[in-house]
Amino acid sequence: MTSASEVLPVVFGVDTVDQDAALAWATDEAARRGVPLELVHAVLPVTHRVRGVEETAHHKSLRELGDEALDKAMVRAHERQPRLEVTTFITDASPAQALVRRSAHAGLVVLGSRRLGRLAEALSAASTIVPVSANAACPVVVVPEAEHTVEQPPCLVVGVDGSPSADAALDHALEDAASRGASVRAVWAWQRPLLGFIDEQAAVEACHGQLLEATAGRSSAHQDVPLNHRVLRGHPVEVLAEAAEHALAVVVGRRGREGFTGMRLGSVPHGLLHRAACPVVVVPPSVHEDG
């Protein structure tokens, strides 16, 4: 539990593999918010391997590599934002466990995407993106390493479907856009049913009405933020990824805390983590929704 007066840092998960784009994004975001940047690295504890003298030496070398990665990241962050307060933290834990714990006292967790395939991501002992996005107490931003061009004027794309998780995503998108001087593009995806006859035009118009209803109350608190509404035909992952190709980010809500990690995250955020060209922001459910 955090107090209203507590300064919440931007937490960045440091890997031993360079993640220049993600580190730059996290550094700039911390500077923009006027909060510290916390660099976190985790080393799997010895209990995850066969115990012994050689393993202990190996674990020590991994800690040393982690310290080197943290030092390197700190130097790069200070080169980019010289006045930024930067701290480092290293611990024995899985990367996902360490970052989820730190998220309880963070305003944002930022991760770099190595674009692992779904199977590799699921089987990797060091995988972080899906479990952190599914369990973090604060929003998680996953930044791809591939070059990304942002359209001008800038906008944030948010997926809306009338659910409480989408409401949380919309709130985050509006607040973030207000602080950035950006617009918000609210997207509702409509898929044609596989069976049966349907009046597509009537169905799209009905979705548009639901989209307007879902955004009306929340957008009133941010009347200075331009808000565009779009109902697009197709699978939500493909629709949102295409709509956000040149956006600042695509913002989506995750499900509640029930079920396995993948179910808790939801299929749309999970798909966007592997498909979107821009940063993906996964917003946790509100306290009310979490129950």
CATH number for 10-144: choose from 3.40.50.2000, 3.40.50.620, 3.30.420.10, 3.40.50.800.
3.40.50.620
Q: CA-to-CA distance for 245 and 234, rounded, in angstroms?
A: 16
Look up residue 122 and give its two tokens: 């699921």
Q: CA-to-CA distance for 186 and 280, rounded, in angstroms?
A: 15
Would the CATH topology of 10-144 be identical to that of 155-290?
A: yes
Furthest C-alpha separation in the chain: 70
Average pLDDT over residues 24-44: 96
Which residue would you say has higher pLDDT here, 188 or 148?
188
Over residues 210-268, the pLDDT tens digits come to 999 999 988 888 889 999 999 999 999 999 999 999 999 999 999 755 544 545 688 89
As a CATH number, domain 155-290 is 3.40.50.620
Average pLDDT over residues 32-49: 87
Evaluate if residue 116 carries a pLDDT over 70. Answer: no
Complete DSSP assignment for 153-178? S-EEEEE--SSHHHHHHHHHHHHHHH
Kindly list the domain boundaries of the chain, sorted by start residue: 10-144, 155-290
pTM score of the predicted model:
0.89
Q: Is 287 exposed, middle or buried (0-12, 13-18, 19+ CB in 10 A)?
A: exposed
Average pLDDT over residues 91-98: 93
Could you list the beta-strand ranges (E) of 59-114.
86-92, 108-113
Q: What angle do CA 139, 227, 135 make, to 5 degrees?
A: 15
